[in-house]
Amino acid sequence: MNTQNNAATLTPGLDVAALCEKAREMVAREAPLYEQLRPRSKDMFANPTPGFYDQVPQHWMRDWPMPFPFAVAGASGSTLTDIDGNTLVDFCLGDTGAMFGHAPRPIVEALSQSGERGLTTMLPSGEVAEVGKLLTDRFGPFVFQIATTASDANRFAIRVARAVTGRNKILVFDGCYHGAVDETLVDLEDGQTVARKNLLGQVVDVTTTTVSIPFNDIDALKTALEAGDIAVVLAEPVMTNCGMILPDEGYLTALRDLTRAAGTLLHIDETHTISTGLGGYTAVHGLDPDIFVVGKPVGGGVPVAIWGMSQDVAKAMSDIRARMTGIGHSGIGTTLSGSTLQIACLRACLSEVMTAEAYATMNRHADRLEQGFTDAIRAAGLPWHVSRVGARLEIVFSADPVRNAAEARAAAIDDIQHALHIGVLNQGYLVTPFHNMVLVAPTTTDEQVEGLLSAYETVLTRLVGQEGM
């Protein structure tokens, strides 16, 4: 990605090209140290063996900004240990999957107990009523269903939205990611919705059913809704996959008002913004969506997602199903969704892990990180800022907040991201790949927070040439 020219416009007075050159030099120096510390992982990924494509369970595990991925031997709380015996403080946390720490004791106990009772039956367990109450107490008066991933949950919710509105099209925001949902994998180029170019095997023209517009653009939203053919707007309340893009003041209120006026459903995907606080961004900021989705951490790291419908949407779905003939899942649900295992882990997570106390600890640590990152950036003389949603923070390479994906892409500088990532990694701290994003867990300690800040200060000082390499 060549972003240097664009980045220069967002960082006036900064010699971006020179900074990128220093970043590449830093990566070249740090890579041998990374390899030296991990001979077993290096050997594992250097020597092809039968079985996995590229020797990894998912091919993108090879895309981390390091010479090769390290293989994990164990994870507990806020730390990882690799097969070479290195211990890392984890501020990636499985990109939110382990937001409350690795292997929370209540989840481990639920896994053990559920295993003894049976893992899946295709029937509701005796804990369903309790979990249903926990869900509504935590997230609001939605009518919930269970999925295995947020990708599935979003896919099912879109199907329901189309059914109850009688409309075909969906609207997403440029730069979005809502999991492996084909119709959401689009970009906005020169004002036109186009299929994302790095997709394999995309043969259906998704632009016939998907509209993409810039985030924070009320006029674009009004125009898109005027046609009256949008079934649902699928949105993160804070965009987190193309940098961290906060909503303008009043934007989410306008989004709600305009969708309701157009007869379009509003679908909020909280899979990342659940970091905001108890109940997610929706509860903390009083949003009123028609559909609500959370994946990743809601089961404490076990594959489970929830999707909720408003009472009106649920009634409309019931009316439609009453008119249908035959039996079956109507294209919604999978055999392993709603399993005994998932319900048990949901109960444990909602009642014992995803607590107000946990969020209080996470946000206290995030307060310290936000201030510490800001101080380190200023001390280095860099025109950057920190973006934050609850326990999730990102260093953005621009002087001012970015308002949409185009600005976020322009601010992203791959060379610097790579340098920051491997620079803190070699000091014992893992942050989220492909971003400058960090996430804190309730298991994170004050010492670990201060250690990460010290690591960033060291890397930034080296990057701007205030200290010898």
Single-letter amino acid, residue 156 = F
Which residues, in sequence order, are bridge partners of residue 76?
Answer: 79
Non-local CB neighbours of 359 within 8 Å, separated by 6+ positions: 277, 278, 390, 391, 442
Structure tokens at 229: 């053919």
431-464 pLDDT, tens digit each: 999 888 999 999 999 999 999 999 999 999 999 9
Gyration radius from the chain CA atoms: 23
Which domains does the chain carry? 4-100+357-463 (3.90.1150.10), 105-353 (3.40.640.10)
Place of tokens 């209120």: 253
Band (pLDDT 50/70/90 cuts) for residue 428 is very high
SS3 content of the chain, % helix, strand, coil (to 5): 45, 15, 40
Residue 8 has pLDDT above 80, yes or no: no
Alpha helices in 306-352 (DSSP H): 311-323, 340-348
Burial of 352 (0-12, 13-18, 19+ CB in 10 A): middle
Condensed to tens digits (0 to 9), the pLDDT of residues 279-326 reads 999 999 999 999 999 999 999 999 999 999 999 999 999 999 988 877
Q: Is 437 in contact with 244 (CB distance < 8 Å)?
A: yes
Tell me the average pLDDT across 133-149.
Answer: 97
Query: Percentage of the chain with pLDDT > 70?
Result: 96
**What DSSP element (H or E) covers 24?**
helix 16-37
DSSP string, 208-267: GTEEEE-TT-HHHHHHHHHTS-EEEEEE-SSB-SSS-BPPPTTHHHHHHHHHHHTT-EEE
- pLDDT for 404 equals 98
Task: Round the average pLDDT of the chain to a whole number and report it.
Answer: 94
pLDDT of residue 47: 86
